[in-house]
């Protein structure tokens, strides 16, 4: 038996894999499935993106540059300027990534000393699992802090023990928030930046849902506060239906980006040229985004109507692909998810996101028609339990 990294031995099954196994079991049993579990949109990727991909296919396949094609970096910079009114030096303050997942996972390998006195990686839960797992594999100490609805699911490190803050190297935030759809404003981001600067903590902002919003004001970026000591992570996966293309970027402090440029070639994570061509088109086009938002809004509204009719509580859903729903009667989230699965409805219970709370997440993935059908089945479940 080969030697195994002890981190691997300690890992629970990755939540998305567990949910996929549940889906496959239901399908094998001949069940009609309505999959609200994983945020992987089913709408066709825009024709312009696909055409740009094919046009960008080189006749000779060679290694792509780690720093990306100039046209790609400029498209990202132009979008940041349009969207947030932030002007970057795209040669010094931006680097492409293959989506945001690998960039988030690898980040601590650059900015965490596994043998130092500051090994904590702070993040709020419920959360995307990569903040924890990236910290563990880099030899850091994950520091999950439970986020509460009464505080609008905002991470407030100024209320945490000073001795633990002194041991913290990295702080992750994610607004709009997966899974609760909570948002943050510039005043909060400004206070968080000041706190992290004061304590010499690297602030990393996962902003992958910044363009998935249904109401004004638009979600802000930490880059609107400063670029000093911060990194923002962006992706086209949800914004443009490019989950399979794997394209994103990291932007922020030039000194931090320079360090990423030094370490990232070791991971072999350069973005292919045809993906960069497709991504450049996507970052420059807003029409396809508006069409996607209209579809997501229609799905959300189906679910909101059902919850209102049935008196089912949920957090406000003004952004992201997710509805964070309170289990009726504050019951067990995993048990309730199993009951929904019996109806063919797959959801992601709160423990899959790192907290034991009476909530579960619904991803706005099935079609509008399937959302309506699933709500009818959910209603049957509620009637059975009445």
Residue 31: is it exposed, middle or buried by C-beta count within 10 angstroms (0-12/13-18/19+)?
middle
The 10s digit of each residue's pLDDT in 114-133 is 999 999 999 999 999 999 99
User: Top-level CATH class of 6-45+288-385?
Assistant: alpha beta
Q: CA–CA distance from 76 to each of 68, 172, 259, 282 (Å)? A: 11, 22, 20, 10
Confidence category of residue 12, pLDDT binned at 50, 70, 90? confident
The 10s digit of each residue's pLDDT in 158-198 is 999 999 999 999 999 999 999 999 999 999 999 999 999 99
Q: What is the pLDDT of residue 267?
A: 85
CA distance 155 to 293: 27
- pLDDT over 60 at 386, yes or no: no
The 10s digit of each residue's pLDDT in 89-112 is 999 999 999 999 999 999 999 999
Q: What is the pLDDT of residue 16?
A: 79
Q: What is the pLDDT of residue 22?
A: 82
Q: What is the value of pTM for the model shown?
A: 0.96
Q: What is the pLDDT of residue 58?
A: 94
Cis peptide before 217 (omega within 30 of 0): yes
Say which CATH architecture domain 47-284 belongs to.
3-Layer(aba) Sandwich (3.40)
Q: What is the pLDDT of residue 373?
A: 97
Spans of all domains in the chain: 6-45+288-385, 47-284
The 10s digit of each residue's pLDDT in 137-150 is 999 999 999 999 99
């Amino acid at each position: 038996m080969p030697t195994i990294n002890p981190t691997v031995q300690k890992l629970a099954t990755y939540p998305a894999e567990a949910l996929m196994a549940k889906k496959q079991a239901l399908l094998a049993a001949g069940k009609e499935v309505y999959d609200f579990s994983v945020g992987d949109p089913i709408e066709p990727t825009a024709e312009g993106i696909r055409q740009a991909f094919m046009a960008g296919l080189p006749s000779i396949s060679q290694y792509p540059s780690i720093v990306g094609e100039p046209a790609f970096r400029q498209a990202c910079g132009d979008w940041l300027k349009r969207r947030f009114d932030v002007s970057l030096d795209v040669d010094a303050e931006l680097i492409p990534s293959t989506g945001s997942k690998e960039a988030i996972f690898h980040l601590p390998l650059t900015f965490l000393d596994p043998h130092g006195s500051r090994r904590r990686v702070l993040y709020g839960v419920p959360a995307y699992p990569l903040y924890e797992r990236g910290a563990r594999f880099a030899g850091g100490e994950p520091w999950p802090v439970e986020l509460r609805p009464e505080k609008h699911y905002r991470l407030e490190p100024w209320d945490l023990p000073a001795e633990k803050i002194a041991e913290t190297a990295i702080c992750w935030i994610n607004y709009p928030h997966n899974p609760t759809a909570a948002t943050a404003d510039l005043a909060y981001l400004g206070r968080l930046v000041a706190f992290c600067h004061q304590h010499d903590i690297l602030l990393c902002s996962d902003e992958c849902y910044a363009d998935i919003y249904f109401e004004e004001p638009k979600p802000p970026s930490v880059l609107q506060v400063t670029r000093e000591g911060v990194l923002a992570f962006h992706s086209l996966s949800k914004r443009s239906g490019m989950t399979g293309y794997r394209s994103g970027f990291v932007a922020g402090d030039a000194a931090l980006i320079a360090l990423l440029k030094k370490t990232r070639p070791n991971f072999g994570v350069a973005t292919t040229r045809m993906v960069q061509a497709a991504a450049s088109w996507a970052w420059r086009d807003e029409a396809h985004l508006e069409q996607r938002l209209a579809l997501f809004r229609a799905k959300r509204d189906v679910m909101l109507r059902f919850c209102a009719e049935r008196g089912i509580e949920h957090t406000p859903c003004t952004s992201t692909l997710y509805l964070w729903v309170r289990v009726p009667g504050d019951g067990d989230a995993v048990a309730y998810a199993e009951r929904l699965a019996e109806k063919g409805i797959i959801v992601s219970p709160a423990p899959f996101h790192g907290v034991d709370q009476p909530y579960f997440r619904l991803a706005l993935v099935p079609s509008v028609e399937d959302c309506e059908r699933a709500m009818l089945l959910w209603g049957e479940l509620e009637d059975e339990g009445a």
